Amino acid sequence: MEFDFEQVYDSGVNIKVIGIGGGGNNAVNRMISTNIRGVEFVAMNTDKQALNTSCAAKKLVLGDKITKGLGAGSNPEVGKRSAEESIDDIRDILEGADMVFITAGMGGGTGTGAAPVVAKVAHEMGILTVGIVTKPFSFEGIKRYRQAEAGIAELSKYVDSLIVIPNERLKQVEDTHITLANAFEIADDVLRRGVQSVSELINVPGFINLDFADVTTIMKNAGYAHMGVGAAKGEDKAQLASMAAISSPLLETSIAGAMGVLVCITASQDIQLDEVNLASQMIYEEAHPDATIIWGATLDPTLEDEMRVTIIATGFSDSVKKLNGKPKAQTNAAEAPEAKEKEAIASIIEEVANEKFVQQQTVEEPVAQKQETIVNTIPARANTQDSFMNYDNLFANMKKKTK
């Protein structure tokens, strides 16, 4: 059976991706460069000069009277007032959207202050609104981190689902040398894959498409969400790709206990039924027993032996919203494969550096020897709770050392 992937397909669903501030604008530019289909891109900023570098078809200068187009000066209050000044323009841009992704780097002025305002407008217009934001590195300072936390708390009031990507987690990979530019690209890659999976499953013809109602069921009024991506090749690709997506080392969350899960499986036409079954089984075992799990599939002949799994999970209780412990299936802490997490991030780093579309992971014999554990057990992050950065203690210790 042959599929025509170039056929005209119109689901009638309007999806917009709005990048706010410098970090959000950069994320939008990188997504545009990968030719994501089925979405409209918008860039908003208080800095006219920065906005001129945007590749988005639609651009909006926020608060021109307040900032004179010179930026928010890392002041979230200025970012907020600038967005409020441009509220009518924001409403015009959002008009007609069924779903909006709002992306920003939290901690600065424009993204931190303006993103909640845009989300509030979208919420009031009845648009399904998803926030995907980053938290700053520790070296960016305690003030910026606290501003980010405050901005995320405000944003969470108005979005249906919120995905947080902590840049600091990139530093947990030892012996991996990445440039500063690549570090931000890696975080953006998580955003890009999630947006691409949702938009293409809805708006691009595939093997098994999703209805917009399916997406709404999972993401409406859902709170904090987990968006994980994984890719692998070889005999164990289904298990490895699913494992990476279930417990992404770049995020603070896993799918443990999720009440709603969207799954996108992408592979070539040669994908085997048992491979789909293995991937699905791992996801079912980690989610809540009563979870609503909706999946779609797209066929891409260019992938050859590679399989990709993208997961968006929602509906967490407060006790499992953040990954502060082990996933429920983990039975032996000694087996928690810290090395696999490092390999997973290293694969993404290599992919970004080489400008490839997907990370490439080679399955070696030691991995195959642990297949029995992989199939039945979702490995936990080793010492996850201890590994999270305590910023207040960090900067307190730094001050002591300088005295």
- pLDDT tens-digit readout, 230-253: 899 998 999 999 998 997 767 777
Instruction: Quote the pLDDT of residue 82.
Output: 98
Structure pTM? Answer: 0.75
Query: Which of 135, 159, 183 corresponds to the end of one domain?
Result: 159
Q: Each residue of 172-229: pLDDT tens digit?
A: 654 467 777 777 777 788 788 888 888 878 887 777 878 899 899 999 999 999 888 8
The DSSP annotation for 118-172 comes to HHHHHHHTT-EEEEEEEEPPGGG-HHHHHHHHHHHHHHTTT-SEEEEEEGGGGGG
Instruction: Quote the pLDDT of residue 10.
Output: 55
Q: How many structural domains compose the chain?
A: 2
Distance (Å, whole) CA 379 – CA 124: 41
Instruction: Quote the pLDDT of residue 34.
Output: 87
* Same domain membership, residue 256 and residue 133: no
* Same domain membership, residue 250 and residue 141: no
**Is 213 part of a structural domain of the chain?**
no
CA separation (Å) from 5 to 114, 167, 192, 206? 38, 36, 21, 7
pLDDT above 90 as % of the chain: 48
Q: Which domain holds residue 65?
A: 15-159
pLDDT band at 254 (very low <50, low <70, confident <90, very high): confident
Instruction: Quote the pLDDT of residue 195.
Output: 86
DSSP 320: T
* Same domain membership, residue 140 and residue 39: yes
**Is 8 part of a structural domain of the chain?**
no
Distance (Å, whole) CA 336 – CA 128: 37
Instruction: Quote the pLDDT of residue 80.
Output: 98
* Same domain membership, residue 228 and residue 342: yes
Instruction: Quote the pLDDT of residue 172.
Output: 63
* Same domain membership, residue 120 and residue 233: no
Instruction: Quote the pLDDT of residue 298.
Output: 85
Q: Is the dihedral of CA 4, 261, 197, 219 positive or negative?
A: positive
Distance (Å, whole) CA 63 – CA 78: 9
Which CATH number do you get for residue 93?
3.40.50.1440
pLDDT at position 316 over 90 = no
Give Cα 233 to chain centroid, integer Å. Answer: 22
pLDDT band at 380 (very low <50, low <70, confident <90, very high): very low
Q: Each residue of 116-137: pLDDT tens digit?
A: 999 999 999 999 999 999 999 8
Contacts of 42 (CB under 8 A, 6+ apart): 16, 17, 18, 19, 28, 56, 57, 58, 59, 60, 93
**Is 320 part of a structural domain of the chain?**
yes
* Same domain membership, residue 363 and residue 252: yes
Query: Which of 159, 194, 210 corresponds to the end of one domain?
Result: 159
Mean per-residue pLDDT of the chain: 78
Q: Each residue of 323-367: pLDDT tens digit?
A: 333 333 333 333 333 444 445 445 544 554 454 433 334 334 333
**Is 268 part of a structural domain of the chain?**
yes
CB of 348 within 8 A of CB of 189?
yes
pLDDT at position 87 over 60 = yes
Instruction: Quote the pLDDT of residue 350.
Output: 52
Distance (Å, whole) CA 66 – CA 217: 40
CB of 228 within 8 A of CB of 251?
yes
Contacts of 247 (CB under 8 A, 6+ apart): 228, 254, 255, 323, 327, 378, 379, 380, 381
Q: How many residues does the chain have?
A: 403
- Top-confidence residue, 4 or 99: 99
CB of 190 within 8 A of CB of 251?
yes
Q: If you average pLDDT over residues 256-278, what whole number do you get? A: 90
Distance (Å, whole) CA 41 – CA 56: 5
pLDDT at position 141 over 60 = yes
Helix, strand, or coil (residue 28): helix
**Is 300 part of a structural domain of the chain?**
yes
**Is 7 part of a structural domain of the chain?**
no
Q: Each residue of 22-41: pLDDT tens digit?
A: 999 999 999 999 888 889 99
